[in-house]
Each structure stands twice: as C-alpha cells, then as structure tokens.
Amino acid sequence: MWLHTYKTHDPYAAGERYRSLFVSSQAMDGLRVESVDSGVPGKYRARLDAYDRTIREADDLVAGLVGELERLGLLERTLVVLVSDHGEAFGEHGLAGHGFQAYQEALTVPLVLRGPGVPVGRRVTTPVSLVDLVPISSASRHFPRRRASASRPRSAASHCRRIARSTSSG
C-alpha cells in the first residue's frame, strides 16, 4: 500500500484540532513556546508554525494507520516506511520554500522504517537517497527477491549508471 499526503505542503492547511498548536508567539499549557530553530527570521515564524501543525497532523494520520494495522493483526508482518520528498526553508539563507537550493533544511528528510527485521531504535547516519527506498524495502524478507544483488541497497549514482547503461544499449 502507498499512502501519500499533501498535508505538509504549502499552504500548510492543518485541520481544526491542530490550529492552536505550535504558536510561537503565545503561551501554551503555562509554558512559553519558542521556535525550535532560532535561525528562522521572525517574519517566517507563523509559516513555520503552520508547517509544524501539518507535520503533527500527518504524524497522527500515520499513528492511526499503524493502530489499524495492529488492530487487524497485520502490524508485525508489515514494513512501514515513512519518508518525505523534500524539506522546507523558512528564511534560512534568505530563502523560503524549496526548489533550486542545496541547503540542509531542504535536502535533509526523515526516513523511518518499522517492521520485521528492522532493529528498534537503530539510527543510521549514512546518507541515503529516495532511490534507495525500493532496494531497502526489497531487502525485507517479506518481499520477493529477484536475485541477490537486487536486494542490496544501491547509491543514487549506481542507480543512474544502471539506468543509463540500459537506455543506451537499447
């Protein structure tokens, strides 16, 4: 199953129950809420707060899906992969949004795996690319393997070289 949401994309429209969360300029639960990144200029804080609200809503959507998989008895044999297509800039380096920029706030995205054969709490610091998702997922014992090398994660460069070879020979 593939589940995709545009919740975390501009215009950052969170549902009603999330609209009071992540408000940098207000006190919540008796505590002063500060922005998680002091590098974000004040004029972008409201947009960052709205973005954070949509992330929280997406987190709850994923939690609901995981809960339903558990209720159906499918969770222990399901590989759940959570990933984002890009990050977002909120005034860092004088930029907003995403697109033609190579700064970490736009390039660094989460890749979270949960399921059979995935060590709990393991954190990998080696950079990966979105093109690594299929080989990583295929490495799960629950997916059919075509051949031994197909289940090994490959770098983006090796994927591109393989595609280039196959298209230039035919």
End-to-end CA distance of the chain: 32
Residue linked to tokens 């975390």: 8
pLDDT tens series, the chain, 170 aa: 778 888 888 899 999 999 999 887 554 444 445 545 567 888 888 899 999 999 999 999 999 999 999 999 999 989 898 888 888 888 888 888 888 788 888 888 888 889 888 889 988 888 888 888 877 777 665 554 555 444 444 554 554 455 445 544 44
Could you count the other beta carbons within 10 Å of the beta carbon of residue 22? 23
**Angle, CA 118 vertex, CA 112 and CA 123 arms, to 5°:** 55
